[in-house]
Structure 1
């Protein structure tokens, strides 16, 4: 019986920032993992291809707010950094940080 994949351990070397920021990235990475696992039967990030992450960004976040897409994109960039991949998502290159002041 294999152990469940530990996303926190996987991202430990690239997670920085406040406790809340680290927790947000972990929560979002686990959501990404669950969605890709359900759709593509790819259990760990080591087995992901760019197309799997692009599918998540395009189809699972397609109707989400720009703010939500921005924060998931930051998490995707952390995942790519940890995987040592140079994934570029052209559609999301111009996504900007949400305004802090409403």
Structure 2
């Protein structure tokens, strides 16, 4: 029996800031994970490619405010840091 993926544990090594900031990063990372899993059946960030994250930023956040998009891009930057990927997306 497999355990569900723990996003908080995955990000623990790179999370910084106040408690509220860390919780926002984890919450947004879980939302990103759920959307990518629904669309491409990629359950963990280890299976993500740049196109998956770019799709999320372009389509899921298209109608959100610029402030919301900015905070999600910060979360994506944190995820790419944890994955040791050189993904860059404009803020």
How many residue pairs match? The answer is: 91
- Give 1:8 deviation, angstroms: 0.5
Whole-Å separation in 2 of the counterparts to 1:42 and 1:61: 19
Whole-Å separation in 2 of the counterparts to 1:59 and 1:13: 29
1:60-71 aligned within 5 A:
60-71=60-71
- Unaligned 5+ residue runs, structure 2? none
Whole-Å separation in 1 of the counterparts to 2:81 and 2:56: 17
Show the counterpart of 1:33.
33
Show the counterpart of 1:78.
78
SS at match of 1:23: helix
Moved over 2 A (4+): none
Larger Rg: 1
Decide which structure has greater helix share. 2
Whole-Å separation in 2 of the counterparts to 1:8 and 1:73: 18
Instruction: State the TM-score, normalizing by the size of structure 2.
Output: 0.98
- Over aligned residues, Cα RMSD in angstroms? 0.6
1:9-48 aligned within 5 A:
9-48=9-48
Whole-Å separation in 2 of the counterparts to 1:58 and 1:88: 14
